[in-house]
A and B are shown apart, each in its own frame.
Chain A
């Protein structure tokens, strides 16, 4: 079955530091890949996505590249801000799985001033 493995947290960084959150996946079909962000007390919001190999998704300074050869979709940001403190979820949707998304366990990021 499909699975998503995310880097374990929590991750604590200073403001303006470089962020990487690792995500690898296994899937039986040709998945689309997503990153979601959950701010405290809120629902998940779609941050970015990539639908085929070598696609790069980007939004709000965050980027992730769909790497089929390494089955990875790592999230990066060059300079984090305190307002980026949140839980980040990597997810995939596989065309063989009735459109169901499989989520990673989430990585909590705290950015300190």
Chain B
């Protein structure tokens, strides 16, 4: 039973298109995150939600919009895709508190052509 599941696993799309990535966790965690991993494996946080409320919104283009319909789901919608958006996007969740680590999904590899 997958703890944090993301769909789709691969996404190939043309520049200018709009796409969404979905994430669901069944761990009962209150906090969920979106991270972007570039080709050099660097991880950068994009957003964080706690119990459906946005608590972290890093410097990310307005074309990226997260949505959390409930605390078990955090989706990422991207408008007007650009070549530079190509990366692996990871969803993660955690319990509240600094001593808990994250549980990551398996990632969505987005390729913009």
Contact yes or no, A103 B43, CB < 8 A: yes
- Chain A: residues with Cβ within 8 Å of the partner, total of 27
Instruction: Map CB proximity to B onto A81-113 as digits: 1 under 8 Å, 0 otherwise.
Output: 000000101010111001111010110100000
Main secondary structure of the interface of A (DSSP, over half): strand
* Chain A residue with Cβ nearest B91: A43
CB contacts between A and B, total, < 8 Å: 64
CB within 8 Å of A: which B85-112 residues: 90, 92, 94, 96-99, 101-107
**How far in angstroms is the closest Cβ of chain B from A109?**
12
Q: When A98-B56, A99-B98 are in contact, do A45 and B41 touch as well, CB less than 8 Å?
A: no
Q: Which residues of B contact A101 (CB under 8 A)?
A: 45, 101-102
Partner of B45, one of A32, A36, A45, A100: A100
Instruction: Map CB proximity to A onto B44-55 as digits: 1 under 8 Å, 0 otherwise.
Output: 010010100001
Interface status of A17 (Cβ within 8 A of chain B): no
**How far in angstroms is the closest Cβ of chain B from A26?**
16
CA distance A108 to B41 in the complex (A): 9
Contact yes or no, A99 B96, CB < 8 A: yes
Contact yes or no, A99 B90, CB < 8 A: no
CB within 8 Å of B: which A34-55 residues: 34, 36, 38, 42-46, 49, 51
Contact yes or no, A32 B99, CB < 8 A: yes
A–B complex contacts, Cβ < 8 Å, 11 sampled = A34-B101, A43-B90, A43-B105, A45-B104, A51-B98, A91-B101, A94-B98, A98-B48, A99-B96, A100-B56, A101-B45
By a beta-carbon cutoff of 8 Å, the part of chain A in contact with chain B is 30-32, 34, 36, 38, 42-46, 49, 51, 87, 89, 91, 93-95, 98-101, 103, 105-106, 108
